[in-house]
Structure 1
Amino acid sequence: MTSVRSSSARSGTARSGTARSSTARSASGSATITSAEGLTNARTRIVGNRTGPIADFVITLVRVGRALGLAIAGGLRRASAVVTPLGWVMLAAVPLALGFGYAVAWIELVVVGWTILVLLAVASLYLIGRSAFLIALDVPHSRVVVGEPATGLISVTNPTRRRLLGVKVEIPVGPGLAELALPSLAKGAAFDHEFVVPTARRGVLAIGPVRTVRADPIGLVRRELVWTESTELFIHPRTIGIPSTSTGFIRDLEGNPTRDLTNSDVSFHALREYTPGDERRYIHWKSTAKTGTYMVRQFEETRRSHLVIALSLATPNYATEEEFEMAVSVAGSLGARAIRDARTVSVVVSERTPEFAKQKVLAVRQLNTLTRTRLLDDLAVVENSASAIGITDVARVTADDISGISVAFLVCGSLTTNAELRAASTSFPSGVEVVAVVCDPDTVPGLRRVAGLSVLTIGYLEDLQKSLAKSAAA
């Protein structure tokens, strides 16, 4: 019994020594990994901590299946890029026609299946090869006024030493598409083609990219090659020139005296008796010596002119699309004149309320007024919406967000009522000149006063100049 215990003790001591040796090796910095415990890679998600031939075989199957799946997906993407919907229908019809035809011995159906297969094989020949053209797209003017003619130019050159066969060229122009049948070009030959860009409506048109198309006559396959990048054409709203004298009711940029009196300014108005709180530096000593009473200078307040143009994008403010386009042109004309005169100007438009919002979004968006071009670029993309806030809310938000306003133009359509205009004008502080410009092609132009508000009604854009002159004179 004693020898057995001794042998067991020696065995335990040996195992303990082995364990300590293993622990020591691990602590000494050995990089040997003997367990997958703690790993979260793909292998452990599939087979866990299992090892051995079966686990390795499963992992190999998964890796091979994943590689085949990626290859098939890539092939399908490439095939879907060249096979048209009609081609997919034909591909699906081949096995059905051949299988059912041979199964029921229907010779005509078998013939149809083989005919489709031959057509697909012939159509695939149209995809072989690549043209070595040099194609350039040029748009002479990046900005035009609505209604003005605009063109684009396609230049194609053959830089190779062989004749290149003609292909079909497509140029996307906004929502439309310009197509061109490119003729065969000899060595070093060039071909230029000018196409018309529609400018009947204000906006931004994306022209290009130019692509060549290889397709079979039936339309089973189609291969597109892109040659250029797209370019943008800004179609600005129509504007008219407004002389500076037409806006004579706007105070000068450097500050002109107003009828508001103040205790400190640069424009002298009169003398008055001293009251506690007046600054002593404004005491007029000569008058004080004559009267025996302290007299101080009183001044007329001068202000810098800050012109605000508020354009309503709310569809309920306009009867027709023509009215809205005229309103955009009015805002552009006023803003461009103010920028040219180096006045401080802010142009704001209505914000839209999101479709599923619980409450109306009371906000306006300020357009870029750094230069005339940037202002017209922003006006080129504004659109009316039924969810945009009306002119009354636009005026209220504008008066809260912008300080120091001297003149405010409210631009709207014929469906805006006098009550809405009066409510809009009362949003601005006293002393602010508020002018409402109502665009109504079906009425006679005129000027009227509505509770301290000047209302200009114009039938054409050209009426704006005359109406502003009458308003300034009044």
Structure 2
Amino acid sequence: MITRAGWGLAAASVLVYAAGAPFGYAQVAVLAAAGLAAVGAGALWTLRGAGLEVRREVAPVKVARGEPAVAVLHLRNTGRWRRSGLVARDTCRDTTVSVEVPSLARHTARTVSYRLPTRRRGETPVGPLLLERTDPFGLSRRSIAYGRADMLLVRPRTVPLASLNSGRRRNVDGLASRSAPAGASSFKGLREYVIGDDLRHVHWRSTARTGVLMVKELTDVNLPSTVTVLDTRTSAYEGDDEFELAVDVVASAACAVTRDRFPVRVFTGAGELVHAKGAPGEDEEVLDRLAVVERSDAAESPLHALRRAGSGGALVLVSGTFAALADAAAVRRRFDQVLFVRVGEPSEGGVPQAAGVTVIEAGDLEELAAAWPR
């Protein structure tokens, strides 16, 4: 393809010839012919086969919002001539990333890496990759597509938080357990050993003191459970930044629970998004699901989601408006602990309060971590 510079040179050559030819200037004809010849030579230069092997890798394929993600190009010159003037252009959502490729001698390979934009959360197609080749004078350009688009998943950011203490019956040992089966048992008392008891439950101090083999008697307790609700109504937020922060808050609250192997349910204005039951690795599923959540004019209010959330445990409701505080207050008696988080700039009228509801105002994740109950 002829570039703007090439078309400009061709037009100038024609004008020069048209202006000088009637006066019989031979030099004008030479200059015009040279200009047109340069444009033609540039076109022939770029029409020549590229003779390149190109492979791209995206690492990592899942990344938190704002964290670095890199594309790595592996290029090899399989032709007989040195390749130069190459520019790689990759498309990442609405952003085009350009990187110059070093000159490649025959039968040599190079690796080029470049950063990908990760400011926006969601499934981000990377590519297709275009390799542009220009002639030495920039008069002609040729673009060749290599491979297909790769997928980069930009997930919410998280900050470490403590699991909320909830459950109808508290474990006297606290929330130290990191597995659901162990977390479902609590110490009740001591009794004498009987044949068939698990020797791992022997209480050696009492056995040494009494001279009788004593074992710990355990009883089942309710696992601390959490319900998180994300307000996805478009009208609840002033802009995209506030909504992204709200998703980060929900991700942080939910992952604090799943990483301790306790159950959590995540709701949005479209219904239940994910129900983690305390199995290992479920925090990854929570982040993957939250990565693709979007605002919607058709989203239901948080109160509709809370009607399907059951009762018991802790509730975390996140919104960009204090108007949703009334929804949290309306169901406070159904939960052991209710937490309302309003994201965005500090309100001028102060932070409203509601009986039985802990209210937090967070302008970023650091403020959330500082105000989070411990």
Bin for the TM-score computed over the shorter chain: 0.5 to 0.7
Shift, 1:125, TM fit = 0.6
What aligned pairs does 1:359-438 form with structure 2 within 5 A after superposition?
A: 364-368=270-274, 371-384=282-295, 387=297, 389=299, 393-400=300-307, 402-406=308-312, 407-413=314-320, 416-417=321-322, 420-423=324-327, 425-426=329-330, 428=331, 430-432=333-335, 433-438=337-342
Equivalent pair of 2:61/2:151 in contact (CA under 8 Å)? yes
Residue equivalent to 1:38: none
Query: Normalized per residue, which structure has more helix?
Result: 1
Shift, 1:240, TM fit = 1.5
**Counterpart selection for 2:357 from 436, 453, 464:** 453
- State how far apart, in whole Å, the 1-side matches of 2:284 and 2:356 are: 34
Shift, 1:437, TM fit = 1.0
Mapped pair 1:462 → 2:366: yes
- State how far apart, in whole Å, the 2-side matches of 1:225 and 1:441 are: 47
- State how far apart, in whole Å, the 1-side matches of 2:5 and 2:357 are: 65
Mapped pair 1:150 → 2:63: no
- State how far apart, in whole Å, the 2-side matches of 1:460 and 1:250 are: 29
Cα distance per residue 1:265-299 (max 9 Å; x no partner): xxxxxxxxxxxxxxxxxxxxxxxxxxxxxxxxxxx
Equivalent pair of 1:126/1:214 in contact (CA under 8 Å)? no
Cα distance per residue 1:330-360 (max 9 Å; x no partner): 100111122223433332333xxxxxxxxxx
Equivalent pair of 1:346/1:366 in contact (CA under 8 Å)? yes
- State how far apart, in whole Å, the 2-side matches of 1:424 and 1:89 are: 67
Change over 3 Å in CA distance of 1:304–1:184 after alignment to 2: closer
Higher relative contact order (CA 8 A, sep 6+): 2
Residue equivalent to 1:207: 126
Equivalent pair of 1:169/1:210 in contact (CA under 8 Å)? no
TM-score (norm 2): 0.65
Report SS of the residue matched to 2:334: coil
Change over 3 Å in CA distance of 1:422–1:223 after alignment to 2: same
Shift, 1:213, TM fit = 1.7
Residue identity in the other structure for 1:431 = R
- State how far apart, in whole Å, the 2-side matches of 1:233 and 1:182 are: 26
- State how far apart, in whole Å, the 1-side matches of 2:154 and 2:346 are: 26
Report SS of the residue matched to 2:346: coil
- State how far apart, in whole Å, the 1-side matches of 2:247 and 2:44 are: 54
Report SS of the residue matched to 2:59: coil
Residue equivalent to 1:347: 266
Query: Normalized per residue, which structure has more strand?
Result: 2
Shift, 1:436, TM fit = 1.3
Cα distance per residue 1:383-438 (max 9 Å; x no partner): 446x364xxx42232134x252434321012xx23x54214542x49523542111
- State how far apart, in whole Å, the 1-side matches of 2:2 and 2:275 are: 49
Runs (5+) with no aligned partner, structure 2 = 172-220, 277-281
Percent of aligned positions that are identical = 26
- State how far apart, in whole Å, the 2-side matches of 1:312 and 1:217 are: 56
Change over 3 Å in CA distance of 1:83–1:388 after alignment to 2: farther
- State how far apart, in whole Å, the 1-side matches of 2:235 and 2:139 are: 49
Residue equivalent to 1:48: none
Change over 3 Å in CA distance of 1:450–1:252 after alignment to 2: same
Aligned pair count reads: 311
TM-score (norm 1): 0.53
**Counterpart selection for 1:136 from 49, 55, 71:** 55
Q: After alignment, is 322-331 or 211-220 more displaced?
A: 211-220
Shift, 1:168, TM fit = 0.8
What aligned pairs does 1:109-188 form with structure 2 within 5 A after superposition?
A: 118=37, 120-159=39-78, 162-174=80-92, 175-187=95-107
Rg larger for = 1
Shift, 1:216, TM fit = 4.1
Aligned-residue RMSD, C-alpha: 4.3
Change over 3 Å in CA distance of 1:206–1:455 after alignment to 2: same
Shift, 1:164, TM fit = 3.0
Cα distance per residue 1:51-83 (max 9 Å; x no partner): xxxxxxxxxxxxxxxxxxxxxxxxxxxxxxx46
Residue identity in the other structure for 1:308 = V
Report SS of the residue matched to 2:43: helix
Report SS of the residue matched to 1:139: strand
Residue identity in the other structure for 2:360 = L
Shift, 1:113, TM fit = 8.8
Change over 3 Å in CA distance of 1:318–1:220 after alignment to 2: same
Cα distance per residue 1:231-273 (max 9 Å; x no partner): 23333322122233xx00245799xxxxxxxxxxxxxxxxxxx
Shift, 1:119, TM fit = 5.2
Report SS of the residue matched to 1:450: coil
Shift, 1:179, TM fit = 1.8
Equivalent pair of 1:443/1:458 in contact (CA under 8 Å)? no
Change over 3 Å in CA distance of 1:203–1:217 after alignment to 2: farther
What aligned pairs does 1:138-287 form with structure 2 within 5 A after superposition?
A: 138-159=57-78, 162-174=80-92, 175-187=95-107, 189-216=108-135, 221-244=140-163, 247-250=164-167
Residue identity in the other structure for 1:182 = P
What aligned pairs does 1:318-329 form with structure 2 within 5 A after superposition?
A: 318-319=237-238, 321-329=240-248
- State how far apart, in whole Å, the 2-side matches of 1:429 and 1:214 are: 65
Runs (5+) with no aligned partner, structure 1 = 1-81, 255-301, 351-363
Change over 3 Å in CA distance of 1:123–1:344 after alignment to 2: same
